[in-house]
Structure 1
Amino acid sequence: MGNFKVKDHYFDKAKQENYVARSVYKLEEIDQRFKV
């Protein structure tokens, strides 16, 4: 198994905004949608 790197729009945006992972955007969407 090798390292799997995804470099898409969210990868670039996360790197630009100093986030470690791009999953922060999915978590924000869940937070807004379900008010958690």
Structure 2
Amino acid sequence: YIATFFDANISASGDTQTEAIFNLKDMIVGTFEILS
């Protein structure tokens, strides 16, 4: 499964829909922390 946030042009994958969304959220938080 692949979860994509088109406006930010980022995506993450996972073995399940839930895992893909969790990985995408984790990537968004990580990116925000780097930029802060």
TM-score, normalization by structure 1: 0.43
Q: Which has the higher contact order (CA 8 A, sep 6+)?
A: 2
TM-score, normalization by structure 2: 0.43
When you count helix as a share of all residues, which structure comes out higher?
A: 2
